[in-house]
Amino acid sequence: EVPRALPRDLEGLRIVVSAGGTREPLDPVRYLGNRSSGKQGFALARVAAQRGAEVRLVAGHTVALPPPAGAVLERVSTAEEMRKAVRAAAADADVVVMAAAVADFRPADRAEHKIKKSDDSPDPVITLDRNADILAELVRERRPGQTVVGFAAETGDEQGSVLDHARAKLRRKGADLLVVNAVGDGKAFGTEDNSGWLLAADGAEEAIPLGAKARLAATLWDAVTALRDRRP
Ligand code: CTP
Ligand code: CA
């Protein structure tokens, strides 16, 4: 890709991006986690800062990534920590993008000491409690003029295609925009490239061709500025 000067079209905007995966502890050494690399969220933060935005990046667990130049980076671990950090940052933000893979559930009990196996007691069973849905909360508590963007990793199944699931999710969540990645077969998680669709609350749908995660980031920021320019 030929490097070219980026527009400074996000100047004056306060943007919050979440990235990476959360970890839900079972005991001092074990957790439930997910395969999120954080690369897409970091690319979003980097490109937004390059385009002039004031960027706060709330990152869960990621592969080793350089901190995006020009962004303020805050590290969190659990979904509850991510919730607190994102909500605090969102309080004065113009745009919030939830690119993080937030655990839907956490172990109901967190053992104080390492869980031991034993021959004379039954094997443990993990009971899960549901975590708060950060994106849904952001939508509910949205400031006037604030733009809220979600991500969804979907697979097609007997209930419907990737797009069917994504359209339903956008409606359910009430976000302004939803970026949809098709996952499975090594797609999206940890890779350098991403593809999918960009769905807008007004029904507009745009296919995102396979390309670098920075490319998808640029497409999303273009859509966010277009959306914000269009509104009354
Ligand atoms: N999300 C969130 N808080 C959660 C779970 C998800 O903010 N506790 C956000 C993600 O960051 C993402 C969007 O919601 O932007 C969609 O996440 P996804 O896991 O695809 O949706 P869910 O509503 O959790 O539905 P599913 O049952 O398909 O996992
Ligand atoms: Ca989920």
Q: Which residue has the tokens 């090594």?
A: 186
Residue bearing the CA closest to ligand 1, atom 8 = 133
Q: Could you state, in chain order, the average pLDDT of each consecutive group of 10 residues for the chain (232 residues)?
A: 78 98 98 96 98 98 98 98 98 98 97 92 95 98 97 90 94 96 69 88 94 95 96 76
Q: What is the CA radius of gyration of the chain?
A: 18
Q: Is the CB–ligand 1 distance for residue 80 below 6 Å?
A: no
- Residues 83-113 as b/e (b if ≥16 CB within 10 A, e otherwise) read bebbbebbeebbbbbbbbbbbeebbeeeeee
140 C-alpha to ligand 2 centroid (Å): 18
Ligand 1 mutation pick, 134, 142, 197, 220, max ligand atoms within 8 A of CB: 134
Q: Could you report the predicted ipTM of this complex, rounded to two decimals?
A: 0.99
pLDDT on residue 189: 67
Query: For the chain, what is the largest distance between any 2 Cα atoms, rounded to a whole number of angstroms?
Result: 68
In this structure, what DSSP letter does residue 108 have? S
